[in-house]
Structure 1
Amino acid sequence: MDITDKIIEYIRTNKVSTTEVADCLGKTGVLPNIYPVNRGQFQAGRVKWVYAYNESNWDVHEQVRDVQKDDIVYIEAFDCGERAIVGELVTKFIILYKRASAIVTNARMRDAHKLIKERYPVWCAGFNPVGCFNTKNETPFDENIIKNRKENVEGAVIVCDDTGVVLIPKTELNETFYKKLEAIEEQEDIWFDCIDRRKWDTFDTVCLKKYKE
């Protein structure tokens, strides 16, 4: 098991929240304005990065053919306005047939009623019944963006829960970060013990850290 799998397994087993993961990243890592379609879901996994641009989802249909089991498919949309990037059909293909763990997108989705009814693990920027076009772009996508995302996003780790989505960069997928995850889980246990059992206030617990005395 490599270190990335070790980190993913620890996060899944211990249900390490996005709040805790962001704290381990120095209070960074959030993918802004992306929220769950369905409450009470938790996912963590390697990123399969997929792009869309110019109000077309042609490239999404093409790229998701390569999704692997347990991937978290991150669809990043560029110049798609308020249009929904995909809906129930693509979601079902990715989650049910490709067996991905989740879909995350900075764009809107359509078919909200179906995504909710089936409790699909989707995190998105909202909904819109008006979708992108399934037409091929005449101009190629920016190679510099592709290079950047392949180097920095593809193969990173995403964690999703009710609070939102946090991305752990590939540069943080190491033993040091694993130990940070262990430490923050221990810290959370101590803090809740302080307020629940010892009946301390949060100032003594969080700020003064009197449990260290």
Structure 2
Amino acid sequence: MKVAGSAVTVEVRPGDNLAIHAALAIAMPGDVIVVDGKGDMTCALLGEIMATQAKVSGIAGIVIDAAVRDSHELANGDYPIFSAGLNPCGPTKSVAGRVNHPISAGGAAVNPGDLVVGDADGVVVIPRADVPRIVELAQKKLDAETARIAEIHQGGLRRGGLDKDLRAVGMLAEGEAL
């Protein structure tokens, strides 16, 4: 499960998903809906029906700091949803929220248009202005890791600079080696 796209932000009151429906109506293909659900686990704010609507609309995925339901269908489907938990109880649709305003989800600040990237390891939010720099740094990291894996397959089982790093933290004395 992977997702990447521009953030459409949503803030809801605990237990109500009306603003998520508004976001589903305005999000463009490739967007990622990010919901500040206040970490509420008392009821699910979306499930299979809303996920299906988002998928068919071309929305890249949903990140929600709250509970979802229909876990079997969501977990076994191919649509990326990242949630804080599960609850079978449904929400109300009667409390105003906000769409495309700055939010906080899972402790991360998210602004409309920020880049949202997620996979099985978690979700990161990259401020729009930082995207070119972060993409460049990420590519360097990926290149270095790819090279290291190739080195390991060719017999280079010891990480370069290990003895130096161990000395720096006091695990080896000067002149000692593993």
TM-score per shorter chain, which class?
Answer: 0.7 to 0.9
2:18 to 48, 53, 58: 58
Separation in structure 1 between the aligned mates of residue 147 and residue 121 of structure 2, nearest angstrom:
22
Establish whether residue 67 from structure 1 lines up as the match of residue 27 from structure 2.
yes
Q: Deviations over 1:12-36 (max 9, x none)?
A: xxxxxxxxxxxxxxxxxxxxxxxxx
Deviations 1:157-213 (A, max 9, x none): 111111111111223123x333212211221122213322142323x367859xxxx
Instruction: Tell me the distance in 2 between the aligned counterparts of 1:54 and 1:179.
Output: 38
Output the aligned Cα RMSD: 2.8
Rounded to whole Å, the distance in 2 between the matches of 1:169 and 1:73 is 15
Q: Which structure shows the bigger proportion of residues in strand conformation?
A: 2
Residue 53 of structure 1: how far off its partner (Å): 0.8
Deviates more, 1:48-57 or 1:154-163: 48-57
TM-score normalized with structure 1 length: 0.65
- Give the match for residue 5 of structure 2: 45
Q: Identify the match of residue 150 of structure 2 among 186, 193, 211.
A: 193
Question: Which residue of the partner structure matches residue 102 of structure 1?
Answer: 61
Greater helix percent: which structure?
A: 1
Distance 1:54 1:193, change over 3 A: closer
- Partners of 2:20 and 2:134 in 1: how far apart? 32
Deviations 1:83-102 (A, max 9, x none): 21111111111111x11111
Identical-pair percentage: 20
CA distance 1:52–1:197, shift in 2 (3 Å): same
Q: Amino acid of the residue matched to residue 70 of structure 1?
A: G
- Equivalent residues of 1:51, 1:77 under 8 A apart: yes
The CA deviation at 1:69 is 0.3
CA deviations 1:93-120 (Å, max 9, x no partner) are: 1111x11111111111101122134332
Counterpart for residue 92 of structure 2? 133
Change (3 A) 1:178 1:208: farther
- Structure having the higher Rg: 2
Could you say which structure has the greater relative contact order, defined with CA pairs below 8 angstroms and 6 or more residues apart?
A: 1
TM-score, L = length of structure 2: 0.77
Letter in 2 for 1:111: D
Cα deviation for residue 132 of structure 1 reads: 1.7
- Separation of aligned partners in 1, 2:102 and 2:76: 36
Task: Give 4+ residue runs of structure 1 displaced > 3 Å after superposition.
Answer: 145-152, 205-209
The AA in structure 2 aligned to 1:107 is A
**C-alpha distance 205-159 of structure 1, shift in aligned 2 (>3 A):** farther
Unaligned runs of 5+ in 1: 1-40
1:148 matches 2:105: no
Secondary structure at the residue paired with 1:108? strand
What is the total number of aligned residue pairs between the two structures? 161
2:61 and 2:39 map into 1 onto residues whose CA distance is 23
